[in-house]
């Protein structure tokens, strides 16, 4: 039995999503910018998708800008906000555990002369991997133009206090962007309740197609485009729209919105079953990140004495697919920046695995993982020089 437990990296396309997309490759192939009937049929699919995405995040359809995915949405939000600021000095705030799409954008801003503050997150047993809103407040300066904080961390699953940060940003008159790529389809989203001005999502994280996402832009929020060459998406994202992908995003948003509560309850129960069993059966194993304030599908565990890369390969040979961290960082031999940020040692960071569940996950798959993972950890520990220390800890 093959068991896939890497849904935070990507998800399979829901059959109903694929069914909705297929006509837009063939009979409804028109350009949505054309005024003739084929173009208007494509436009109707585009508009329906915009309505569905808006409903998922609690926005108005006119506030949704389609992109090629979460990374582009993050880049558009960050660079587009900095470009329209008239302040002579510019300062941006983010956290040490945000996604590379945000962190790498901030590093580029620093090369351009923008100052960036990377706010640390909690390292203790309570609120581990969660930023303190007051730390965000203390980081504010007169020249601060943007705060960017992710909603749910892609590696730990920890949920950040976005509502509180939204209130702080509003009080300071600072624009607030939220990367919600890992929370869309898993948590209820309401951009007004969250208090965000900009919010990024990506279709392939909730059973939609790859290569398409969206950025919510609050009405009246100026934003400079990253590309030029047309008037699509209200001049914010020019180019011929990827209608099949956008239709798929819309359908995935519609399905996720409808199944949100039932998916969360079922997947959360399976995640807890897996996590509890692994903690009971594997000596010295422990959870990385806060165990309460997190999305229902994610468990990040450290298995001291069993190297993560070797463990990952051994599990894959047994038919279990999981992850040592973010897919965008695969191939790196260094511990995840997220695990380093919560205070893990280099060895523990490299001995950690992320198990992320999804809508297709079954109880039988979880039982198989519970059977296999402890056996593989024990086998690798027997080969490790750290094994003795682990078993006597």
**79 shares a domain with 125:** yes
Point out the domain boundary residue: 255, 282, 297: 255
Residue 383's pLDDT is 86
The secondary structure of the chain in percent helix, strand, coil, rounded to multiples of 5, reads 45, 15, 40
Q: Within 13 A of 36's CA, how many CA atoms are on the CB side? A: 5
Q: Are residues 224 and 272 in the same domain?
A: no
Other C-beta atoms lying within 10 Å of the C-beta of residue 86: 6
User: 234 and 274 in one domain?
Assistant: no
The chain-wide mean pLDDT, for the chain, equals: 94
Q: Which residues of the chain have pLDDT under 50?
A: 329, 388, 392-393
Domain CATH for 206: 3.40.640.10
Q: Which residues contact 95 (CB under 8 A, 6 or more apart)?
A: 118, 119, 120, 121, 131, 149, 150, 160
pTM comes to: 0.95
Q: Which residue shows structure tokens 């039988």?
A: 364
If asked whether residues 59 and 167 sit together in one domain, one would say yes
Q: Enumerate helices (H) and strands (E) in the chain, giving the number of each.
A: 13, 12
* Structure token digits, residue 115: 């100052």
| CATH assignment at residue 345 | 3.90.1150.10
Reading the block at residue 382, the tokens are 């027997």
* Residue 390: predicted pLDDT: 53
Same domain, yes or no: 290 and 358: yes
Q: In this predicted structure, what is the pLDDT of residue 234? A: 85
Residue after which a domain boundary falls, among 255, 283, 298: 255
Q: Please report which helix (H) or strand (E) contains residue 98, including its range.
A: none
Q: Assess whether 237 and 279 both reside in one domain.
A: no
Active site residues: 328
Asked whether residue 270 falls in the same domain as residue 250, the answer is: no
Same structural domain, 308 and 237: no
Q: What is the pLDDT of residue 333?
A: 62
CB burial readout 162-181, b (16+ within 10 A) else e: bebbbebbeebebbbbbbbb
Q: In terms of residue numbers, what domain contains 371?
A: 3-10+260-392
Residues 333 and 207 in one domain: no
Distance separating alpha carbons of residues 75 and 157, to the nearest angstrom: 22
Number of structural domains found in the chain = 2
Task: Identify whether residues 22 and 169 lie together within a single domain.
Answer: yes
Q: Which of 255, 272, 302 is the last residue of a domain?
A: 255
| Whether residues 95 and 191 fall in one domain | yes
Whether residue 220 sits in one domain with residue 356: no
Task: Give residue 389's pLDDT.
Answer: 52
Could you give the angle at which helices 70-84 and 100-111 cross, rounded to 10 degrees?
A: 30
């Amino acid at each position: 039995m093959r068991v896939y437990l890497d849904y935070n990296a990507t998800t399979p396309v829901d059959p109903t999503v694929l069914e909705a997309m297929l006509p837009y490759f063939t009979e409804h192939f028109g350009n949505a910018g054309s005024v003739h009937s084929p173009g208007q049929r494509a436009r109707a699919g585009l508009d329906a998708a915009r309505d569905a995405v808006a409903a998922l995040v609690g926005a108005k359809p006119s506030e949704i800008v389609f992109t090629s995915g979460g990374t582009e949405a993050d880049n558009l939000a960050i660079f587009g906000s900095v470009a329209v600021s008239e302040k002579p000095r510019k300062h941006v705030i983010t956290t040490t555990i945000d996604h590379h799409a945000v962190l790498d954008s901030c590093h580029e801003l620093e090369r351009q002369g923008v100052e960036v503050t990377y706010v640390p997150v909690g390292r203790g047993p309570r609120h581990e991997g969660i930023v303190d809103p007051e730390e965000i407040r203390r980081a504010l300066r007169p020249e601060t133009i943007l705060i960017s904080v992710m909603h749910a961390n892609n590696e730990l699953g920890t949920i950040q206090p976005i509502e509180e940060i939204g209130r702080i940003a509003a009080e300071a008159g600072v624009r607030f962007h939220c990367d919600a790529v890992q929370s869309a389809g898993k948590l209820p989203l309401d951009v007004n309740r969250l208090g965000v001005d900009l919010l990024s999502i990506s279709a392939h994280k909730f059973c939609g197609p790859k290569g398409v996402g969206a950025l919510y832009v609050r009405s009246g929020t100026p934003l400079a485009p990253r590309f030029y060459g047309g008037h699509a998406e209200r001049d914010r994202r020019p180019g011929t729209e990827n209608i099949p992908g956008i239709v798929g995003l819309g359908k995935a948003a519609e399905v996720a919105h409808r199944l949100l509560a039932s998916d969360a309850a079922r997947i959360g129960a399976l995640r807890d079953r897996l996590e509890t069993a692994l903690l009971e059966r594997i000596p010295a194993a422990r959870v990385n990140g806060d165990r309460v304030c997190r999305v229902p599908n994610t468990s990040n565990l450290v298995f001291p004495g069993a190297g993560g890369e070797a463990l990952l390969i051994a599990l894959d040979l047994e038919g279990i697919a999981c992850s040592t961290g973010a897919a965008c960082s695969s191939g790196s031999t260094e511990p995840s920046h997220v695990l380093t940020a919560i205070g893990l040692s280099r060895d523990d960071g490299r001995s950690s695995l992320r198990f992320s569940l999804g809508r297709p996950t079954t109880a039988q798959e979880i039982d198989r993982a519970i059977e296999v993972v402890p056996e593989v950890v024990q086998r690798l520990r027997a080969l490790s020089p750290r094994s003795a220390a682990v078993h006597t800890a």
